[in-house]
Structure 1
Amino acid sequence: MPLKFFLKLYLRLIGLTALVVVLCFSLFAGFNAVRQQYWQEAFPAPMLRWLAAVPAPQNQYPWLSGHHQLRVVEQGDLDVSPLVLERLGYGQVVALQTSLGWRLQVLNQQGQVLDFLFRDTYREVAESLALIALAHLNESLPEARDDMLASLSSTLGVALKPLTSESELPAEAVLGQVSDRGVAFYRQGDLSSVLLRLADGTLVKMAVPAPFNPWHWSVVLLLIVVAAAVLAAALLMLLRDVDQNLRAVESVAVRIARGEMGARVEESRSTLVSRLANAFNGMAEHIQRLVGVQREMIHAVSHELRTPVARIRFGVQMLEGSNSPEALQKQLDGIDGDIQELDELIDEILTYARLEQGGPVFSLVETSVTDIVRQVVGEQQLIRPEMVIEADIPSSSESWAMSDVEPRYIHRAIQNLVGNAARYASGRVRVRCQLDEDNCRVDVEDDGPGVPEEDWEKVFTAFARLDDSRTRNSGGYGLGLSIVRRILYWHGGQAFVCRSDDLGGARFSLVWPRKKAVV
């Protein structure tokens, strides 16, 4: 995997994680702010409505002014928004957060606003509820106490129950506190309670509703749903982009299958899919070239085969009219030569097809290039004794003669060039080796007419010839140089042609790396 693609994906994952964290934190804070506002008004509402129904709560419960700074304020003197006044008019409890704590307001029966201050709403409201219940329970008769407990529990939104066994008693510290103050707030696990001690010594336990929990299951569920939704949306966007690009590749593949060989996948921003598109386009170009080569080969082969086949047919017909042994032998020799030409043509075609359609299984071995050159020069000199074919190998190249090559195919490539040069040379062909630490270069020069510059690339095209001759002596088949270029391609090198400065004819050059790349 490319490092750039990995870093890009990694940064996207970090960004997505940061987005989920920020979004969840914002929702957590915002949702809990609304929940806390609602809880601050709902939890003390039963007590405040009880006090609002009392004509003079500060007189009946003297501790209210000291504990909660109770004020009785006219509505016109309140410095609050019209919305708060409207809510108070509907009988709702309003909670306002201040720097000192929460101010709780409620409208009493006289149209005045009772204003309380709670620094710790949960504990202070619980203790105030206990003090209210304690005052009324002490005033009730013992026989009416059960009814009073039920009435206070229903009205104040708590559960009042007398303790009847020692197992229900809290810790000694709580008992000591209730002896001093008459009430004691304490916790048992996740539950909160207040212990009351009546005037006759009876202990009453008041169970208080649970405090505000910012991690309520509904909050956790909301965060999970939001995080899952964000991740799902991100995954959907990623998969949609990948799917669109894959569909584009699929569409081009279908078009190529229908015969539109020029169809290509457009470039994409997606690194992952762009690599697939580049590989697909490379494959499509290779297939298009192979199909083109196949068509050209079929056309050229059908044309090349006609001449020798026609000569063989003509020779066979001439055999019927041959009366002398000499004429008969002449026709047989001609037929044999035509069959040999067909055999050579088929060999050239098979070699070119094998190289063009993926290449042979090359087994590169360390071999002396200079020895191969000398061998080719010696063989060609025997075939064409009328030519001067020489090898020019500087002493500096001998030390770098060993190269990783496929000896049989490099021999074939040099042989094709030397044979081609001898076919067109006036009388001299020279093969020069220039070898160094990195590269091997073999130049084949002749003193013939050369190759026009505008045809330097054309000569390497299959079945291309620069003259109209198709005789076995000078025309060839137009595959030799194509085979040379493919052999060099599979060696990681290249073949090209230019003009020879020394001999004046053509100079064909082969260049390839001396050592194969270490994979």
Structure 2
Amino acid sequence: MPLKFFLKLYARLIGLTFLILLLCAALFLGVNSVREQFWQERFSAPLLRWIAATPHPQQQYHWLVSFYDFGVASPGDLPFSDVITERLSYGQVVVLETSIGQQVMIRDGQGRILNLRFGDIYTDVAEATALIARIHLDNIPVEGRNEMMEQVSGALGVEMAPVQDQSALPGPDVLERVSERGISLYHPPSADRAHVLLRLDDGTLVDLAMPPPFNPWAWPVVMLLLTVAGGVLALALYLALRGVDSNLRAVESVAIRIARGEMGARVDAGDSRLVSRLAVAFNSMAEHIQRLVGVQREMIHAVSHELRTPVARIRFGIQMIESASSPEALQKQLDGIDGDIQELDELIDEILTYARLEQGGPVFALQETSVSDIVRQVVSEQQMTRPRHSIEADIDEESERWSLSDVEPRYLHRAIQNLVGNAARYADHRVRVRCRFDEDNCRIDVEDDGPGIPEEDWEKVFTAFARLDDSRTRTSGGYGLGLSIVRRILYWHGGQAFVSRSEELGGARFSLVWPRKKPTEPAL
């Protein structure tokens, strides 16, 4: 995977994570601000309604003034909005955030606005509730306290019970505060709510359990955050995979078109980095298949034409055998048939070699071999078969030093042999094989003093079954496959073959160039 693509994908994942966290944080704060407002009003409502139901709360609970800034005002004295005024008119408890705490208000039966100010609404409401409960319990005889506890508990929304088991008492620090103030707020380790311990005038201890405090991580909030995070991830994944799926469908469509015979169909990768490499590889494969199909059509056409001539000569030779009038004439026809059969065998060998190289190539076992030795061997073999020509090898000392190269000896021998044989076929007298090797590359030039090749035909000579002359007799030699085989052999070596004009000899110059060391992969 390319590093740039990985970093880009990683940055997108980081950005998506940050977006989800930011969205969840904003949602968490927004939802909890509404939930906390609702909880504050619901939590303080029993205390405020108890106070509002008292005929003269300022006289009966005069200590509320000093503790919680308790006040009574008419609706016109307080500059509230229409929404707050309407809510108060419905008998609802309203909590307003101020710079010094929460202002809690309720409207009593006489239309007055009762308001208290709490620094911490949970602690202050718990202590105020405990003080009111203690006042009423102190005024009730012992035998009526249980009934009063039930009434006060139901009205104030708390749970009260006398402490009868000594093991249920809290720690000494709580008891010390109770002895000093008469009440003490504490949080038992195993409980999720606050408790207030009261000491009545007769020394009776009463435990008052408050409702649970506000929980910002309630399960509906957690489920909402998980749903939102999952939804954003699902949306991002859908948008990402939609583009990938669209590109994969494009590749699938092109594959179907190629299967139907539209060999020119290609994949347009567009801007997608995920499938661009797949599109390049697919298009390369499609081009290779198209070329192979084209080569197959040309081969079938050319082979049928090439086979027709020797087969016709064999048929003619057989007919001539029947009318042979002497042993010499019979032997001549038999020799001709044998030559035609040998020509067919050579043609089949050329066709099989070319097909093997075109359709994926042989399994090359590259090994370090002296290229100069291969060249000398080819020159020696060709000189023996063509004694009337001067075939020489030109290898300087510097090239000899770098002659060891990673090659497939058998196929490289075949490529050089095809070039030297082709040069000798058209040369007047002289063929030269020049080797120039260095640390990185190997180059072999096969030159002759023949008529040469017109520049406009330099590329055509490497086409299968292409010959620049119109003769197709045995004397002209060749089937138009030799140079095609040479180019494919060089292709599988990671190099190339090309033709030009020899400046010194005046004829054609065929050149082979390939990397001296094993290439990583052949260029397509």
Indicate whether the TM-score tops 0.5: yes
- The Cα shift of 1:437 comes to 1.4
Once the two structures are superposed, the pairs formed by residues 168-317 of structure 1 within 5 Å of their partners are: 168-189=168-189, 190-317=192-319
Counterparts of residues 9-408 of structure 1 (less than 5 Å): 9-189=9-189, 190-408=192-410
Corresponding residue number in structure 2 for 1:7: 7
Q: Deviations over 1:170-189 (max 9, x none)?
A: 22332232233222211112
Q: Residues of 2 paired with 1:139 and 1:364: CA distance?
A: 109
Q: Which amino acid aligns with 1:278?
A: V
Instruction: State the AA in 2 paired with 1:125.
Output: V
Distance 2:264 2:249 in 1: 18
Moved more, 47-56 or 480-489: 47-56
Mapping for residues 418-433 of structure 1, pairs under 5 Å? 418-433=420-435
Name the CA distance, whole Å, in 1 between partners of 2:171 and 2:430.
120
2:474 to 468, 472, 484: 472
Task: Return the letter of the residue paired with 1:289.
Answer: R
Determine the C-alpha separation between the residues in 2 that align with 1:375 and 1:165: 113
Rounded to whole Å, the distance in 1 between the matches of 2:145 and 2:404 is 115
Task: Pick which of 86-95 and 9-18 moved more.
Answer: 9-18
> Taking structure 1 as reference, are residues 134 and 373 closer, same or farther at Cα in structure 2, changes over 3 Å only?
same
Separation of aligned partners in 2, 1:310 and 1:239: 63
TM-score (norm 2): 0.95
CA distance in 1, matches of 2:248, 2:304: 41
Amino acid at match of 1:65: V
Q: Which piece of structure 1 moves more, 220-229 or 347-356?
A: 220-229
Secondary structure in 1 matching 2:214:
coil
Q: 1:402 to 1:167 in 2, by over 3 A?
A: closer
1:157 and 1:207 mapped to 2: Cα distance?
A: 9
2:462 aligns to what? 460
One-letter amino acid of the structure 2 residue matched with residue 459 of structure 1: V
Cα distance per residue 1:43-64 (max 9 Å; x no partner): 0011111112223211110111
Task: Name the CA distance, whole Å, in 1 between partners of 2:386 and 2:337.
Answer: 24
Unaligned runs of 5+ in 2: none
| Distance across 2 between alignment mates of 1:166 and 1:401 | 103
Which deviates more, 481-490 or 163-172? Answer: 163-172
CA drift of 1:8 comes to 1.9
Contact 1:319 1:328 in 2 (8 A): yes
Counterpart code for 1:252: V
Q: Distance in 2 between matches of 1:268 and 1:51?
A: 73
| C-alpha displacement of 1:6 | 1.9
Q: For residues 438 and 518 of structure 1, what CA distance do their matches in structure 2 show? A: 14
SS in 2 for 1:465: coil
Letter in 2 for 1:303: H
Q: 241-250 vs 83-92, which deviates more?
A: 241-250
1:280 Cα deviation (Å)?
1.6
Q: Distance in 2 between matches of 1:174 and 1:23?
A: 43
Instruction: Give the drift of 1:475.
Output: 4.8
- How many angstroms apart in 1 are the aligned matches of 2:206 and 2:379? 121
In 2, the alpha carbon distance for the partners of 1:105 and 1:18 equals: 41
Report the secondary structure of 2:469's partner residue: coil
Whether 2:491 is the aligned partner of 1:489: answer: yes
Q: What is the CA distance between 1:133 and its match in structure 2?
A: 1.2
Tell me the distance in 2 between the aligned counterparts of 1:367 and 1:159: 98
Query: Structure 1: how far apart are the matches of 2:51 and 2:464?
Result: 107
How far did 1:518 drift? Answer: 6.5
Q: CA deviation at 1:128?
A: 0.5
What amino acid is the match of 1:173?
A: D
**Deviation (angstroms), 1:426:** 2.1
Q: Which runs of 5+ in 1 are unaligned?
A: none
**Percentage identity across aligned positions?**
70
- Deviation of 1:218 (Å): 2.1
Deviation at 1:270, TM superposition (A): 3.1
Equivalent-residue separation in structure 2 for 1:359 and 1:173 (angstroms): 92
Q: How many pairs does the alignment contain?
A: 519
Counterpart-to-counterpart distance in 2, 1:83 and 1:326: 130
